Amino acid sequence: MCVVISLAGSFYLLKGNIDQDFFSMYYVGRGVAAGQNVFRDFSDNKGPLVYWFFAGLFKIFGYNYTTSVFWGLVVLDAIGIFLWLEVVSKWVEQITGSWGRSWGGEIIVACLYKSLNVGQLMGGIYAETLGMVFLALAWWSWQKEKWLVSGAFFGMAVLSRQTLVVWGMVFGWWWIKKVINQQEIIKFGMGLCGLVLAFIIHILATNSFMDVWHNLVAYNLSYASAVGSMGWNFKLDNLFKLLFSEPRLWVMILMLVPGILSIGMSGKLSREGKLRGGIIVLSGLVATFWGGVVYFHHFLQLIPVAALIISLGLKWGYRWLPWYLLVLLIAVVFGFQKTNGNDRREIGWRKITGSLEILAREKRYLMVVSYHPQLYFDVKKIAPDRNYHTFFLSRTYNPSDDYYREGHMKLKADRERMQQTLWVAIVRGSPNDIVRDYFKEYRDEFGLVEIQSFQVGEDVVSLYEAKV
């Protein structure tokens, strides 16, 4: 079942758009596969294991990125679905004292899990995709009493998606409530600390401490400050837009509300069961909404919560409801999924990349100002420095950390590199924040002059050179 659902869902990647976030991580993976340093040579804020994983993908699939994302997602989601169903069934047994699994509920959870990597408008492999597999492996090993291995897998989860660190509360609660003894939690800690120590040794050996600090800490704090300054109206607007564009999230809500009511009305959940279930729910919610701005794939971190509530609800209440919602879920996920942008990717995108290949033929570097890292693969170019995308250079999204802006400004002194770079911005409608911020900061400093502009559908493609 896990493999069939994962394979079926992945076919939607062939119908719609592949998320540009995938290309961003694949770009870093390409560089790491070629021997570059994951922190020093790239500006990005994901956990390092994500990029090492993508380096492996690039080694296997190279520039065949559609094949890479398709099969990578088939394998990761099949493993993730299987492991989480196993883990949650054990949680249910621990909380209720009796075994209970439902094929209907497990199919719903599996479909929800898959759909959260293949969104309504786009999909791909995300930091959450990899991190949730490692977190599931950590819990699965924990339940098998492989404490050292469990700790190591938990460390891998955090080094993939930093927000998953909050799941440490659940591991800690299990220890506090003496589900395991002190010797066992020490073994868990040794596995976790061993992985952290290996990471620290890597940082020291590559002399990349400052880059790690800015990529993983300083920029994220700056981004959090920027999002915080936008206020609750912006955050709620973002959430409502997401909910209205992603019907599958409503399906999840429709599943959870009656599940919670069934659990509450049954009166069968003990005080200890409520505490254990509550800490799992809290961890999932914090991990999902930590950043303030939420995207559909962030909800993958709520899958353990959804699976637990659905399983308990089925055990104590709404047995008929999952079958009705299963039909609805399949209709939403596999029947009425939008394929927004398909023509743009298949027809318009080929026109854009075809023109760029000709225009960039004499150039060694490509600086993509808008967020379209896919161009680096279609045109087979690299950025002139570590800033292959411009979020870290934008004062809107990075108001306080000037480390990257100062580094990018050093291009000005490298005359040959400037001459070998073609700047490109693809804009639909008015320029967005990162495009506007970049040209405000660097147009005059670099002497950027527009050499050509053309329109493909709704997209306006503008090309620039530095007159140095």
User: What is the rounded distance in angstroms from the CA atom of residue 383 to the CA atom of residue 367?
Assistant: 5
Which of the listed residues 335, 361, 388 is the one where a domain comes to its end?
Answer: 335
Count of the separate structural domains present in the chain: 2
Q: For residue 99, what pLDDT is reported? A: 65
Residue 241 sits in the same domain as residue 390:
no
The answer to whether residue 340 scores a pLDDT higher than 50 is no
Residue 321 sits in the same domain as residue 369:
no
Owner of token pair 């599996």 = 110
User: What is the rounded distance in angstroms from the CA atom of residue 167 to the CA atom of residue 344?
Assistant: 40
CB contact set of 181 (below 8 Å; sequence gap of 6+): none
**Cα→Cα distances 61→48, 50, 51, 65, 373, Å:** 20, 16, 15, 7, 17
Residue 276 sits in the same domain as residue 347:
no
Residue 54 sits in the same domain as residue 9:
yes
Grouping H, G, I as helix, E, B as strand and the rest as coil, residue 381 is coil
The larger pLDDT score, comparing residue 95 to residue 373, is at 373
Bridging pattern class, strands 421-428 and 448-456: unpaired
Residue 413: count of CB within 10 angstroms of its CB: 9
Q: Is the CB of residue 396 less than 8 Å from the CB of residue 437? A: yes
Which of the listed residues 281, 312, 335 is the one where a domain comes to its end?
Answer: 335
Residue 103 sits in the same domain as residue 121:
yes
The answer to whether residue 295 scores a pLDDT higher than 60 is yes
Residue 398 sits in the same domain as residue 325:
no
Among residues 109, 115, 107, 89, which one has the least CA distance to residue 256?
A: 109
Positive or negative, the CA dihedral 249, 254, 255, 259 is positive
Q: For residue 339, what pLDDT is reported? A: 42
User: What is the rounded distance in angstroms from the CA atom of residue 464 to the CA atom of residue 18?
Assistant: 26
By residue range, what is the domain housing residue 201?
2-335
Q: For residue 90, what pLDDT is reported? A: 86
- pLDDT class of 325 with cuts at 50, 70, 90: low
* Mean of per-residue pLDDT scores for the chain: 84
Mean pLDDT of 202-223: 91
Residue 377 sits in the same domain as residue 261:
no
Query: Angle at CA 74, nearest 5°, toward 388 and 116?
Result: 70
The answer to whether residue 341 scores a pLDDT higher than 50 is no
Residue 274 sits in the same domain as residue 245:
yes
Q: For residue 118, what pLDDT is reported? A: 84
Farthest-apart Cα atoms in the chain, separation: 75
Q: Is the CB of residue 118 less than 8 Å from the CB of residue 69? A: no
pLDDT tens digit sequence for 264-274: 666 777 777 77
The DSSP letter of residue 118 is B
Q: With a threshold of 0.85, does the pTM exceed it?
A: yes
List strand residue ranges (DSSP E) for 6-121, in order: 17-18
Q: For residue 108, what pLDDT is reported? A: 78
The answer to whether residue 336 scores a pLDDT higher than 50 is no
Mean pLDDT of 63-89: 93
Q: For residue 136, what pLDDT is reported? A: 96
% of the chain beyond a pLDDT of 90: 44
Which of the listed residues 335, 352, 377 is the one where a domain comes to its end?
Answer: 335
Cα dihedral 250→252→257→259 (10° resolution): 160
Q: For residue 327, what pLDDT is reported? A: 57
Residue 19 sits in the same domain as residue 165:
yes
Residue 348 sits in the same domain as residue 317:
no
Residue 94 sits in the same domain as residue 182:
yes
pLDDT tens digit sequence for 115-152: 888 876 678 999 999 999 999 999 999 989 899 999 99
Residue 290 sits in the same domain as residue 349:
no
Q: For residue 181, what pLDDT is reported? A: 72
